[in-house]
């Protein structure tokens, strides 16, 4: 599954980037991210790591997932990429979140790309995610504006 969404806000790109370059700020504006806390570094991690709890609901269906995510790209104030990197020795489906901030006529354009390589959540995840993106737009715009 690959989902790409964009949002333009009347704020400087650096102000927008400050809300997407570290996962611990996501629960403040993205309800599907219930918790994001610092995780211990592991050998080979190119950047900081977080334990992220995801939870989504679509009608009577509810899904929850805990991921260890590592920031693999940090090109401030333009781009941050987070990738799933578990340390339990097992094989896991990939999750990649790519956040890019570009200047826009109104201030800044944020483009978020999510890749999920598994099949467990399938179309339910995509629907939950698209619904949550729509609900999160005004919260992120308000957070950036009040930063």
User: For residue 55, what are the contacts with CB-CB under 8 A and spacing of at least 6?
Assistant: 32, 34, 62, 63, 64, 65
Confidence of residue 121 (pLDDT cuts 50, 70, 90): low
Contact 51, 37 (CB under 8 A): yes
Supply φ then ψ for residue 105, to 5 degrees.
Answer: -55, -35
Residue 146 is predicted with a pLDDT of: 58
pLDDT > 70 in the chain, percent:
94
In order of 14, 26, 76, the CA distances from 147 in angstroms are 11, 14, 17
Confidence of residue 23 (pLDDT cuts 50, 70, 90): very high
Using the CB atoms, write b or e for 106-136: b if 16+ within 10 Å.
Answer: ebbbbebebebeeeebeebbbebbeebbeeb
Spatial separation of the C-alpha atoms in residues 113 and 99, rounded to whole Å: 7
Q: What is the mean pLDDT of residues 124-144?
A: 82
Confidence of residue 31 (pLDDT cuts 50, 70, 90): confident
Which residue segments constitute the domains of the chain, with CATH numbers given? 2-145 (3.30.530.20)
E strands, the chain, where? 2-9, 33-39, 49-58, 61-75, 79-84, 95-104, 107-116
């Amino acid at each position: 599954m690959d989902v790409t969404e964009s949002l333009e806000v009347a704020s400087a790109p650096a102000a927008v980037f400050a809300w997407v370059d570290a996962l611990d700020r996501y629960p403040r504006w993205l309800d599907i991210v219930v918790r994001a806390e610092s995780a211990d570094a592991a050998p080979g991690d190119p950047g900081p790591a977080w334990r992220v709890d995801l939870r989504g609901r679509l009608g009577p269906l509810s899904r929850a997932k805990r991921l260890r995510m590592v920031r693999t790209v940090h090109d401030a104030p333009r781009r941050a990429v987070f990738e799933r990197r578990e340390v339990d020795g097992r094989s896991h489906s990939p999750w990649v979140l790519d956040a890019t901030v570009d200047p826009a006529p109104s201030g800044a354009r944020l483009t978020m790309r999510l890749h999920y390589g598994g099949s467990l959540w399938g179309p339910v995840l995509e629907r939950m995610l698209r619904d949550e993106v729509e609900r999160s737009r005004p919260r992120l715009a308000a957070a950036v504006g009040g930063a």
